[in-house]
Amino acid sequence: MRVVWFGHSAFRLEFGDSTVLIDPFFTGNPGFHGDPASAGEGATHILLTHGHGDHIGDTVEIARRTGATVVANYEVCLWLQTKGVEAIDPMNMGGTLDQGGFTVTMVRADHTSTMIEGDVFTPLGAPSGLIVKAPGEPVVYHMGDTDVFGDMALVQEMHRPDILMVPVGDRFTMGAAGAAFAVKRFFTPKAVIPCHFGSFPIIAPNADAFVAAMEGSGVQVVLPHVGTGVTFTA
């Protein structure tokens, strides 16, 4: 599996015949300096953790251009339909959907989910984390935006993720200490990729504190360069 980080919480997973975007926030993302069209090129699926602008991002444009299937909670999917997105596959907490070459499971996250357009506030259901499983590939857990919570122990027991994508930017999500505590307390991953930092001035500018907090844990912390792919094996 090839994993590309585009800054903030945006990722691209490439494996088998699938090209999966998670929270594809490209346009307006201060941490991303590439071409949004190239970042979304060839997408077969778009997975969304929740309904905030910095996570829905370029979903509408990419879905219209590529025909990618959008997997998100029910409310987000219906909202996207009003924007002209046709290929949707709605789900909710605890559900698992088969997308052909992989499955996606929606799990809990502690956060909010509202789209703000000017002075219009649209509630978009509950936020989530996402588990991606494909035959012969590492299990990926994108935590979305969340605080640490005790039921992460159940996520580990049920899904045993190999790769964790963990928010560390503080203020709106776990900070470095909370994120490191969550990883060390609840998970036994092969690798952890910190995210949701370095994009906006009001969150942590880097992942240094998280990296320091993970020292001695035995867990590999991967800090990919924005737009550069890293390959992981099961």
Q: Work out the burial of residue 89: count CB atoms within 10 Å of its CB; fewer than 13 is exposed, 13-18 middle, 19 or more buried.
A: middle
Summary mean pLDDT of the chain: 98
What local confidence, expressed as pLDDT, does residue 121 receive?
97
Q: Which residues pair with 96 in a beta bridge?
A: 105
Q: What is the mean pLDDT of residues 146-161?
A: 98
Q: Is 149 helix (H, G, I), strand (E, B) or coil?
A: coil
Distance CA 156, CA 161 (A): 7
Q: What local confidence, expressed as pLDDT, does residue 85 receive?
A: 98
pLDDT of residue 210: 98
pLDDT at position 199? 96
Confirm if 188 and 218 have CB atoms less than 8 A apart.
Answer: no
Helix axes 152-159, 176-186, angle to 10 degrees: 40
Per-residue pLDDT band for 191 (boundaries 50, 70, 90) equals: very high
**Whats the size of the chain, residue-wise?**
234
User: Residues 35-89: pLDDT tens digits?
Assistant: 999 999 999 999 999 999 999 999 999 999 999 999 999 999 999 999 999 999 9
Say what the pTM is: 0.98
* CA proximity to 58, closest of 97, 28, 78, 34: 28
Angle between helix 74-81 and helix 59-66 axes, rounded to 10 deg: 70
Residue 136: C-alpha distances to residues 25, 139, 185, 233 (Å) = 28, 9, 27, 8
Q: Give pLDDT tens digits for 104-139.
A: 999 999 999 999 999 999 999 999 999 999 999 999
Pick the CATH number of 2-225 from 3.60.15.10, 3.40.50.2000, 3.30.1360.200, 3.40.50.10490: 3.60.15.10
Residues facing residue 230 across a β-bridge: 3
